[in-house]
A = this chain, B = another copy of it.
Amino acid sequence: MSADSIDIQPILNGDRLALSRVLTQIEKDSTAGRDALNHLFPHTGKAQLIGVTGAPGTGKSSLVNQIAYHYRHPVDDSQPQRIAIVAVDPTSPFTGGAVLGDRIRMRDLSGDPDVFIRSMASRGSLGGLARATAGIVQAYDAAGYDIILIETVGAGQAEVDIARLAHTTLVVEAPGLGDDIQAIKAGILEIADILVVNKADRPGVENTERALRNMLQLAHPAKRVFRHHGQQMEVDGADEQEYEALWIAPIQRTIATDGEGLTELLEHISQHRQHLENTGELARRERARLAAQLDELIESQLVSDWRASLKNGVYEHALDELEARHLSPYEAVQELVKEQKK
């Protein structure tokens, strides 16, 4: 073991302080963090990963709290699950701070040794954030948490990155969030495994739900009628067998502030998990997740190798030539990449 390497045994044993320390190293992308992830990785692949995304104002954070609370306190006689949460805010690239209020969320869950929470604001690139989140999820997984909740503020590309990390992705909406929010839903609908209409005690909840239902039908052009989760849905003209494999995102109303709809929501999550296992989709998502992570790491490795190989001043010279319009950007790239191969 080298001097700055981290002993992973305490993490595997469930030591919260040790876990917390390794997360800091993972966020920093330090050598010790990478080394720890190498050693933690063989112990991963057991946790269930649930992504929760939605626009500001939908009450996602409270919902994540409630989901965690319900897994800790099951209504049936099932085993309480160990829960870890990573909350990511890619929309505050500069402030890097207290946007995600840990204190608020901790009121329900504080003191529970089987709940672990980490908030992360974006410090660098979106790529860096995705890398760090993937690392944190792996550390949680190795530390034996049964369920990992990945929360992000809904914002385009970030949702896609979540969808790649999670087994089941919840997209959260709420009534009355302004007029052209509909436009955004169209994009994120395609990554939603379950749609949640939170703040369902607000006026306009029927409109929000109807809009979502209409968009679902657009996404799956209507041909025949199919019953799914007790909802009557029209799906495209696939045969009966394909119907079995097709998952149509259910829409669940919740009121996160008082826990309404949470039992049903957990039931949908469990059904989706079952669906993933039955159809072989779980294995496919696992592989896609690993591939996405691999690609990100390769990209950053290639760039840093290239930077390290550049002689002093070569990059600045290319930039000067670019500014003077002696080289075009594509020509400058050719020069700089050729430079490396010498």
Contact = CB atoms under 8 A, between A and B. Distances in A.
A45 interface: yes
A301 B90 CA distance: 26
Interface of A: 34, 37-39, 41-42, 44-45, 56-57, 89-95, 97, 99, 122, 125-126, 134, 153, 155-160, 177-181, 183-184, 186-187, 190-191, 286-287, 290-291, 293-294, 297-299, 301-303, 305-306, 318-319, 322-323, 325, 328-333, 336-337
A38 B332 CA distance: 10
A41 B303 CA distance: 25
Contact of A37 (B177, B191, B322, B330): B330
27 contacts: A37-B330, A38-B328, A38-B330, A41-B325, A41-B329, A42-B328, A56-B179, A91-B155, A91-B187, A92-B183, A92-B187, A93-B157, A93-B187, A95-B186, A99-B183, A122-B157, A126-B126, A126-B156, A286-B323, A287-B323, A293-B329, A294-B319, A297-B330, A297-B333, A298-B333, A299-B299, A302-B302
Number of copies of this protein chain within its complex: 2
Chain A residues touching B, majority SS: helix
B290 A329 contact: yes
Contact of A184 (B37, B91, B305): B91
A177 B294 CA distance: 39
A310 B178 CA distance: 49
Nearest to A40: B328
B156 A91 contact: yes
